[in-house]
Chains A and B, each alone.
Chain A
């Protein structure tokens, strides 16, 4: 007598669903957005490209902010997060593309960056050059010196 348990329709369906999901992920993986879309039409905001790198002492965030004036950029930092808001010089009208087939207007870049380690926000410094914002945030504990015996 076989000891194999007959699987229920639900289990078979679950397995089939998992298989389809796996195939879909394999096929569409490179096409799926790694994050959310980089715009919000109703809030008229664009998400800028950001890059975060870590050195021994600091977290350095660079943000691509074309069409922005230095004096309009607002950066707020806490120990674990940095918020960037940068109104554009003028309203950006993007012609129909992709999911936005109506002309869409944007007038601000917004981005919140979660930091991998705690920083000292009051010691942060920032500069804006060629449309790129660079924020340097010193780490809260940059490192203890361990005496070598």
Chain B
């Protein structure tokens, strides 16, 4: 077991991480729960191994029980050059700062190729959209070039609020390349369709071949089971003033 201590957050690697330049996927609850739904599907599809967890006194006193086994709230999975960080609990706003800083520092230490945030972008007309589009933000020139090569549309103008915004900021501070994928999604409801679109974009980005058919087949089941998490995420998004993302306040003319 390898414990790496950062600002108020410990990254505990229970299995040695052998990856040389991993891409680290981040799936935290946010718009449409796109991150946790997509990341959980990726972990299951690739049969990724649980390789560690993150712990902090800033996190609420929660333990997740899965298959009668207690698990940490923020878990790390790995397979080859892909790592995934996932949580299905709500992160309190005071923990979000230290956590995103930790992820950026840890990624830098691992010599990660990219930290890849998977999330949603609330669109008011989501009901009219059959297949959600995915937009990408790259924190470096190289990241933007890779997004362009993967034919992922750029997120041209706007504001991001919340943990994915902080992740970009901390990655920029640490000079750790970051890519954030934003799928058009329902703000208020779990959106497995948006998660599927995100995975398809990720497939072209990482040259993986993760099937989304089974995810779309389970769409209704996911929407029923994720209601409570979505409700709590909505509360958190309200406290983080997520609504700012919907404002049109361009200053560049």
Binding site for B on A (CB under 8 A): 27-28, 30-31, 34-35, 37-38, 46-49, 51, 62, 64, 66-67, 92, 94, 97, 129-132, 134
Q: List 20 A-B contacts (CB under 8 A).
A: A28-B60, A30-B236, A34-B235, A46-B227, A51-B188, A51-B189, A62-B188, A62-B189, A64-B186, A64-B188, A64-B189, A64-B223, A66-B219, A66-B221, A92-B224, A94-B224, A97-B225, A130-B127, A131-B223, A134-B127
Given contact pairs A131-B220, A132-B127, A31 touches B227 in the complex (Cβ within 8 A): no
Interface residues of B in 119-162 (CB under 8 A from A): 127
Q: Are B60 and A27 in contact (CB under 8 A)?
A: yes
Complex alpha-carbon distance, A49 and B188, angstroms: 8
Say yes or no: is B232 at the interface (Cβ < 8 Å to chain A): yes
Minimum Cβ distance to chain A for residue B47 (Å): 21
Say yes or no: is B228 at the interface (Cβ < 8 Å to chain A): yes
Q: Are A34 and B189 in contact (CB under 8 A)?
A: no
Say yes or no: is B92 at the interface (Cβ < 8 Å to chain A): yes
Say yes or no: is B62 at the interface (Cβ < 8 Å to chain A): yes
Which residues in A have their C-beta under 8 angstroms from that of B62? 31
Report the contact-size class of chain B (Cβ under 8 Å from the partner).
Answer: 20 to 34
Q: Chain A residue with minimal CB distance to B129? A: A130
Given contact pairs A27-B60, A49-B189, A66 touches B236 in the complex (Cβ within 8 A): no
Q: Are B227 and A30 in contact (CB under 8 A)?
A: no
With A38-B227, A66-B220, A134-B127 known, 5 other A-B pairs at CB within 8 A are: A31-B90, A49-B189, A51-B189, A64-B189, A64-B227
Q: Chain B residue with minimal CB distance to A98? A: B228
Q: Chain A residue with minimal CB distance to B90? A: A30
Which residues in B have their C-beta under 8 angstroms from that of A92? 224
Minimum Cβ distance to chain B for residue A2 (Å): 41
Minimum Cβ distance to chain B for residue A132 (Å): 6
Q: Chain B residue with minimal CB distance to A97? A: B225
Minimum Cβ distance to chain A for residue B32 (Å): 11
Given contact pairs A34-B231, A49-B230, A132 touches B224 in the complex (Cβ within 8 A): no
Q: Are B228 and A30 in contact (CB under 8 A)?
A: no
Q: Are B224 and A66 in contact (CB under 8 A)?
A: yes
Q: Are B227 and A49 in contact (CB under 8 A)?
A: yes
Minimum Cβ distance to chain B for residue A130 (Å): 7
Task: Choose from A38, A131, A132 the contact partner of B228 (Cβ within 8 Å).
Answer: A38
Task: Choose from A47, A64, A94, A130 the contact partner of B225 (Cβ within 8 Å).
Answer: A94
